[in-house]
Copies of this chain bind each other. A is one copy, B any other.
Amino acid sequence: MTTNTHSQHVSEQHLLGPDVEQARYDRGAQVLAAVDGEGGQSVVDALADIAPALAHHVVAYAFGDVYARPGLTHAQRQLVTLGMLTALGGCEAQLEVHVNASLNVGLTPTEIVEAITHTAVYCGFPKALNAIFVAKRVFAECDLLPVHAPAA
């Protein structure tokens, strides 16, 4: 989304001076880049011609208002997110972005696999297996297979 379109959308939608909404958006964009990298930005870009408001909410609210908050590290947030996306089911596209994000914020492949192995207890094996195979695809692309068992 170009700066022009974004500013235009912002002043249409939010009845606030463009600087403020830009500040929430910028804070969110900064966190989005650090956490989701390319995967997240491509989602935002793909929304430009259909739902720019939804893109704005992803960046300004989800990342700017929530993810940017102190209190939990990014790695801790990603653990909560891996649990949620596995439990929801049908969110493999987002799991792919977030397995990558989990690596970006410092979780190891071993820790990601442990988290998903843990989900089988609470979500059942079908959902856990769907999640583990998303992780397998991501790790294969990143040349991170095989994943090592945790040190005892």
Using CB atoms and an 8 Å cutoff, list the residues of chain A in contact with chain B: 1, 5-7, 9-10, 12-25, 27, 43-58, 61-62, 65-67, 69-72, 76-77, 79-94, 110-111, 113-130, 132-133, 135-136, 139, 145-147, 149-152
Contacts and interface: CB of A to CB of B under 8 A. Distances in A.
Contacts of A58: 125, 129
Given A18-B18, A129-B43, A90 B87 contact: no
Given A54-B132, A91-B126, A121-B125, 6 more contacts: A1-B55, A9-B53, A9-B56, A80-B115, A85-B122, A90-B90
A43 B26 CA distance: 30
Nearest to A94: B126
Which DSSP category, helix, strand, loop or mixed, fits chain A's interface?
helix
Nearest to A2: B48
B114 A72 contact: yes
A15 B10 contact: no
Contacts of A15: 21, 23, 27
B87 A149 contact: no
A54 B87 contact: no
A118 B83 contact: no
